[in-house]
Structures are given as C-alpha cells and as structure tokens.
Amino acid sequence: MRMAFELQMLAAAVVLGLVHLFWAAAAAQPQRGLKWNVGPRDTPVELTGMAGRLGRAFANFRETFPFFAAAVLVAYLGGRLGTLTTCGAALYVGARAVYVLLYALGVPVVRSLVWLASTVGLGLILAALVI
C-alpha cells in the first residue's frame, strides 16, 4: 500500500526539521565552543551572523511545524485528503525548505514572502478540514 502524499510531506518536514537542527548547531559551534556545549549552558551565548539566523529560522520552524503535523494527521484520519491537502502540504514543505536557505543567506523581504507561502500551504490543509 502506497503512503499518502501528505504523510510523505510530513515525513519530509521531519527531515527538514533535522536539517535545521544540525545546520544551526554546526553553525553555532565555533561561536559557543566545546566548553559551552558540554557544560551546563547556564550563560547564554548571543549568536551572530549566519549562526544567529539559522537559530532563528529553526525557532520559526518549530513554531509552525506542530500545526502542520496536526493538520496533516487530522486530514488523513478524517478522510479529508484531496487536492487542497496535496497542494497545501507540498507548498508548506517546499516553502519551508526555501525559507531556511533564504534566512541563512540573510535575504530580506523574499524570505518573508516565502514564509507567507508556507502559511498559505498550511491554510489550504485547514480549509480541506472545513470544506
């Protein structure tokens, strides 16, 4: 049995979250140092440059991902999969992948538009639940 496309996109979003996590951690390592990483981390280190942007991008991902995951699972379990959920899931995951790249590179405005596109994708999935 083939897995629903929306569930495949949910799995892809989990992988994207792990990419966020590891990329942000790797970028932060030179600024934080090994002593901070293995220590109690009582004193926060303000990250700058790409490391700071990747940390903020990951925080932003963590804000929207639970809503995406819940919407996909409710649509799947509720038998509401269709064109809206397919397009919405693809738009969310695709836009989030582009978003992290734009944020890492410090691209303004377009990054915000891409974030908006990911939110529209989430909205499409939610719309499928009520239509």
**Do the domain assignments include residue 40?**
no
**Do the domain assignments include residue 94?**
yes
**Do the domain assignments include residue 42?**
no
The per-residue pLDDT for 1 is: 87
The per-residue pLDDT for 49 is: 97
Assessment of whether the complete model's pTM goes beyond 0.85: yes
Written as one letter, the residue type at 19 is V
Per-residue pLDDT of the chain (131 residues; tens, 9 = 90+): 899 999 999 999 999 999 999 999 999 999 999 899 899 999 999 999 999 999 999 999 999 999 999 999 999 999 999 999 999 999 999 999 999 999 999 999 999 999 999 999 999 999 999 98
**Do the domain assignments include residue 26?**
yes
Long-range contact set of residues 97-100: C-beta below 8 Å, sequence gap at least 24? 97/16, 99/57, 99/60, 99/61, 100/16, 100/19, 100/20, 100/23, 100/54, 100/57, 100/58, 100/61
Q: How many domains does the chain have?
A: 1
The per-residue pLDDT for 117 is: 98
**Do the domain assignments include residue 22?**
yes
**Do the domain assignments include residue 78?**
yes
The per-residue pLDDT for 12 is: 98
Q: The domain spanning residue 111 has which CATH number?
A: 1.20.120.550
Q: What one-character-per-residue DSSP string does 64-98 give?
A: HHHHHHHHHHHHHHTT--SHHHHHHHHHHHHHHHH
Domain assignment of residue 24, given as a range = 5-30+47-130
The per-residue pLDDT for 37 is: 87
The per-residue pLDDT for 111 is: 98
Instruction: Return the DSSP state at 108.
Output: -
**Do the domain assignments include residue 37?**
no
Helix pair 49-77, 110-130: axis angle to 10 deg:
10
**Do the domain assignments include residue 35?**
no
